[in-house]
Amino acid sequence: MTVWEKYVRKVTPYVPGEQPDNKNIVKLNTNENPYPPSPFVKKAMEGINDEQLRLYPDPKASLLVKAIAKHYGLKEEQIFPGVGSDDVLAMCFLTFFQSEKPIFFPDITYSFYEVWANLYRIPYEKKPLGENFQICPKDYLGENGGIIFPNPNAPTGLFLPLKEVEEIVEKNRDVIVIVDEAYIDFGSQTALPLLERYDNLLVVHTFSKSRAMAGARIGFAMGDTKLIQYLNDVKFSFNSYTLGLPSLIAGARAIEDNGYFLEITEKIKNTREWTKRELRKLGFSFPDSMGNFVFASHEKYRAEDIFVYLKEKNIYVRHFQQPRVDNYLRMTIGTKEQMERFLDCLAQFIR
């Protein structure tokens, strides 16, 4: 090793799902929305002029923050936007998880949490999910430096009822509790009403899944004004101009089109429930996902073999080489037509 290499920050990076060039595939591997964004978005994009691109964007992202605040009935000072929720969550780790005590998150969860903890050298403890993959609130009551979990959890899709979320927030008033609600819009109850009572709670949302805008990279945290102020202080010490102007405009227009949003999330929920019934008929079992994906395993066939077979047929799903879940596949809910092609293919393999 050269001398300088001793002083390099060495990290094991997060591995995102594949984004293949091939347009012919059925892409069910990264939980993208199969529908286009609101038509308001494209129209607004066409109106962007040179002057808007020549200048730096508004560092406070006011256009987007105002639209989000209005939509959720919150104050602008309660919204912290970023380049996808990944950026927002990374800022949250850097800002709030500075204690010597370990932060807690589930053992099977969004794998980026562990990556950020390692990157920022934050001590952590992973809390094993229960037998049926459920998060057990009592595991989150010990002394800790902060808590984060997705609700619904990823990649299981299981939703933790609001009462239990509240129990975790309420019994941890001395630390910040982050609820990552990337999949909340597909039919479960948000923790937002708890914000009135708890100033140690942050709720994080994204435009990537339910608003069909993974390409625009927009996420945001909602919480007490004091927490948002601390996040802004760190952000302005890191990169003032996170969101570009096209994303600010796209995000604001998208959130104003609530009718379209409800329409596409409803379609995905219906396709998800239909897909569950079909998967059951084929011998799959799975936790009752409330996300835009199903995390399933087959009684007779190995997940890895199914994964390879599907890929040969140009159908991409996600497989995690990780203890306890390596016999599961995470399948994003696409359009009904995509799911039909996917299920036909599965049926051929399983027959």
* By the rule CB under 6 A, 110 interacts with ligand PLP: yes
Q: Is 84 in the site for ligand PLP (CB under 6 A)?
A: yes
Report helix, strand and coil shares of the chain as percent, to nearest 5: 40, 15, 45
Number of Cα atoms under 13 Å in the Cβ half of residue 297: 11
Contact call for residues 208 and 85 (beta carbons, < 8 A): yes
Cβ distance to ligand PLP smaller for residue 91 or 175: 91
Min CB(84)–ligand PLP separation in Å: 3
Residue placing its CB nearer to ligand PLP in the complex, 35 or 309: 35
Contact between 105 and ligand PLP by CB under 6 A: the answer reads no
Check residue 157 for interaction with ligand PLP (CB under 6 A): no
Q: What is the DSSP string of 149-197?
A: EESS-TTT-PPPPHHHHHHHHHTTTTS-EEEE-TTGGGT---SGGGGGT
Bridge partners, 222 (sequence order): 79, 203
Does 185 engage in binding with ligand PLP (CB under 6 A)? Answer: no
Yes or no: say if 116 and 164 are a contact pair by the CB < 8 Å rule. Answer: no
Phi, psi of 284 (to 5 degrees): -90, 150
Place of tokens 């903890």: 117
Distance of closest approach, residue 304 Cβ to ligand PLP, in angstroms: 22
Contacts of ligand PLP in 204-263 (CB under 6 A) = 206, 208, 214, 219
Quick one: 33 or 206, whose CB is closer to ligand PLP?
206
DSSP 6: G
The answer to whether residue 151 forms part of the interface with ligand PLP (CB under 6 A) is no
Residue nearest to ligand PLP (CB): 84
Contact 109, 154 (CB under 8 A): yes
Of these, 86, 190, 228, 303, which contacts ligand PLP (CB under 6 A)? Answer: 86
If one asks whether residue 85 binds ligand PLP (CB under 6 A), the answer comes out as yes
Q: Does 149 bind ligand PLP (CB under 6 A)?
A: no
Among 28, 154, 203, 315, indicate the residue that binds ligand PLP (CB under 6 A). Answer: 154
List contacts with ligand PLP (CB under 6 A).
Answer: 31, 84-86, 110, 150, 154, 180, 182, 206, 208, 214, 219
